[in-house]
Structure 1
Amino acid sequence: MTLLPKFSASLLHPRFWPTWFGMGLLWLVVQLPYPVIYRLGYGIGHLAKRVMKRRVKIAERNLELCFPQMRAEERQHMVAKNFESVGMGVLETGMAWFWSDRRMARWMDVSGFEYVRDVQAQGRGILLIGVHFLTLEMGARMFGMNEPGIGVYRPNDNPVIDLVQTWGRMRSNKSMLDRKDLKGMIRALKAGEVVWYAPDHDYGPRASVFAPFFAVEQAASTSGTWMLARMSQAAIVPFVPRRKPDAKGYELIMLEPEYSPPLDDAETTAAWMNKVVERCIMLAPEQYMWLHRRFKTRPEGVPSRY
């Protein structure tokens, strides 16, 4: 397993004081009643939309590419709702890291977890497909409260954030693996573990093949799904963490397992996986991370979409 960060006196250096202050402020804010957090998060989202002009344009472009039939007014409404989720996502990170299990349980519902138990009864590992919703941290915590697994992450460049996020995520995980550690993931899956995996972002040309994604015919899609599923023989189980409207909490939705995904080649698997991701996104499209440059990697000689 990955060697996890530990506290050291060097993290108390004055250059890290602003980060510690930010973490402390986040902890303090998420002690408020959830309806207050909800309103505050949406307010942060409205402010973010006014400030993050470049990300607004990226979100608009992604929606235009994925849903070319969507009317301009619908797209603008979707972007506005999406940035409300951006604001909530900041506070939900603190909720996922700092809330007690008891408080989490009060605001969450879970459906379809029998699918996970069915796979485990067969002694198979689970490649848990968690796409990049803005509720991502809440989803990992909710799932881990029912079944702790192996988290996959990118270590943060700021060592204080890396320490706090790892501590927070370990509240609902057995261990953590660097997202580049494919061998570690395969070993865990073969041992019957649950390994969280997000196959929906553009991870660059070296680790990608091109496959359709919504209306985009050639979207850079990770080849990691093909390698992990082929070498581990794990079942693939998607899940969706969805925020309910009007401060009514969250629902964790488990989808049906796939025991025999198409594994002919990386392109075939990526195209199939993208369809799974699309289905997940459409369960809460306004809560997806549209501000990521999903289509930045292009085939050689093809101009940028941004």
Structure 2
Amino acid sequence: MKKKYRKLPRNTDYSAYRHPRWWPTWLGIAAMWLVAQLPLRLQWWLGKIAGLLAWRLAKSRRHIAEVNIRLCFPELNQQQQAALVRNAFIANGIGLLEIGIAWFRDPARLTGITQVHGLEHFEQALAGGKGVLLLGGHYSTLDLGGSLVTQFIEADVMQRDHNNPLMNAVMTRARERRYGTVLGARDLRGLFRSLKKNRAVWYATDQDYGRKDIVFAPFFGIPAGTITATSRIAERSGCKVVPFSHFRRDGKPGYDIYFHPALDNFPSGDDQEDATRINAIIEREIRKAPDQYLWMHRRFKTRPDRDDPGFYGRKRKD
């Protein structure tokens, strides 16, 4: 059963977590720290084992991934789709262990095996003087990729706080060492302050956030609830929107970070057009390494028709 925690203000003071109730979490954090000290190849191997275990045991998440991949890759036959599901669990298992590297080790140690593509696009956008919204996605290299990005540019980040307050404290403190400012997911005032200072802010739109302030735009050909906030932010701040992504290389350890030209004529004044454009960009990046995306999320949970029973087996109540 998922453990429930009373909603508390963000508190990153470790002295607040001395009570024995936090000891199991501290034990898990210690394990993450220990694994993070291992050679990268060994971590990848352990991550593969963790991913395969999750593929075997996490049946509900595997079902979600199977549905998503069946919807998004109809051109693949059944065996190819099953292989992609399995590989996605492996990639995300490796990504889970890479969180320890992002939180507890110096990402500068990995810059020698990291290649940045298109950095000039980011620099040109920042030269506009009104800030940059880095349009990211939920790839399996989420935390480590973000840490690596900060070795080449200065950036702030928006995060959804962890349900476990102690884990959230560790995550927030780790990110504060990498990023300039760690903003809450709903801290739009903080976001606009960062942009006004001509800062770059990591921002993602590729999850299902419910029915509020969305349009339905195609994502791999499926109408997906897509937030319109990106257009509102760009319109109000005048910032540039720069798509970027980060992937783990196949074979020998290494990483690639991609910056793309800032979106021109954005926002266009048409939320549907803007959302369709953003989804197409994220889809293009996912296709570079389809297994390295978070397919375990119910991306198509919110349907255009409220009476639609949905893709995942139960009637939606949104």
Normalised by the length of structure 2, the TM-score is 0.91
Report whether the alignment pairs 1:235 with 2:234: no
The corresponding residue for 1:219 is 224
The corresponding residue for 1:86 is 92
Give 3-state SS (helix, strand or coil) of 1:206's partner.
coil
Give 3-state SS (helix, strand or coil) of 2:212's partner.
helix
Contact 1:126 1:193 in 2 (8 A): yes
Contact 1:45 1:85 in 2 (8 A): yes
Selected match of 2:80 from 74, 81, 87: 74
List per-residue Cα deviations over 1:161-213 (Å, max 9, x = no partner).
Answer: 01100111112211111111223222322331101100110011113221111
Q: 1:107 to 1:17 in 2, by over 3 A?
A: farther
Selected match of 1:102 from 101, 104, 108: 108
The corresponding residue for 2:254 is 249
Identical amino acids, percent of aligned pairs:
38
Please, what is the CA RMSD of the aligned residues?
1.5
The corresponding residue for 1:41 is 47
Relative to structure 2, which stretch is displaced further, 8-17 or 83-92?
A: 8-17
Which portions of structure 1, spanning 4 or more consecutive aligned residues, are displaced by more than 6 angstroms?
A: none
The alpha carbon displacement at 1:139 in A equals 1.4
The corresponding residue for 2:163 is 157
Q: Find the aligned partners of 2:30 and 2:176 in 1 and give their Cα distance.
A: 19
List per-residue Cα deviations over 1:244-278 (Å, max 9, x = no partner).
Answer: 11242211111222142243232221111111111
Selected match of 1:171 from 159, 168, 177: 177
The corresponding residue for 1:284 is 289
Contact 1:235 1:260 in 2 (8 A): no
Q: 1:135 to 1:209 in 2, by over 3 A?
A: same
Count the aligned residue pairs: 303
The alpha carbon displacement at 1:127 in A equals 0.6
Q: 1:83 to 1:117 in 2, by over 3 A?
A: same
Which amino acid letter does the alignment assign opposite residue 224 of structure 2? A
Report whether the alignment pairs 1:60 with 2:66: yes
Normalised by the length of structure 1, the TM-score is 0.94
